[in-house]
Amino acid sequence: MVNLFNGATYPFRALGYLARNPQLWGFVIVPILVNIIVAAVLYVGLLAGGFAAIDNVVVDTGWGDVLEGLLRLVLVVGLLIVAGFLLVRFGVVLGSPWYGKLSERIEADKLGSAPPAEPLTPRGIARDLGRALSFELKKLALFLLIGGLLLLVNVIPVAGQIIAAVGWVLLGDWIACLDFFDGPQERRRLRFREKLANVRRALPGSAGFGLVAFGLVSIPFVNLLAIPLCVAAGTLFFCDHVRANQMVSAAETKRLPV
């Protein structure tokens, strides 16, 4: 329980760390601005298309203004949730060049050195985005595999719903750990299975971290600030657990089992 709680404190530690190191703020502010622009375009575009569709339905069916207003309200709230979810997935990818540099600076400060991130040049940014997209596709495959099993379990009366609900939370926890431990792991060019193994080896602390991070990035538009915060928190967690030999370190040459 102590380790579980300790892992949950890392986002708050990261907030204090960033407050004490204003030289890192540029790696936080720039991706936030990029994500705000993307979020605004995404949300306004979906909202305009949705309103037009509702207007056409109302005209064709003769429904009243009250029902039209209700449909618009449902659309606004629903799009907030959908846009928030998409922003987490694409926000991590779009911000990966800056988050990589943020993670590198934190690791160099905490451990004395760090494998270098890609330079913030057009070629370096393209390589970063390509690897980030590949990583997202692998996580999507994992999500679909486990999510499909949870949907099958859900058909069992009562017990199935409980198991599925717990399973979805644990899956979100695991994905959050993969997201926010990825900076130092990607610079070490670790394979996907090695990244999964590192989350397992750092239990139960990684579970506590993942629960808090998953909660923060699940709040629509709050996740604009939560993503860079959790990137910093994940790097701090990784550094501490490298020291404790619970995760793969830069000096470790033995590969984990495939």
Residue 68: inside a domain: yes
In the chain the first and final C-alpha atoms are separated, in Å, by 30
| Residue 256: predicted pLDDT | 37
Residue 116: inside a domain: yes
Residue 256: inside a domain: no
Task: Identify the CA nearest to 192 among candidates 244, 231, 140, 139.
Answer: 139
Mean model confidence pLDDT for the chain: 79
Residue 139 in tokens: 């996580």
Residue 249: inside a domain: no
Residue 248: inside a domain: no
Domain around 209: 2-243
Its pTM stands at 0.74
Query: What are phi and psi for residue 65, nearest 5 degrees?
Result: -65, -30
Tens of pLDDT, residues 197-237: 888 888 899 999 999 998 888 776 777 788 889 999 999 99
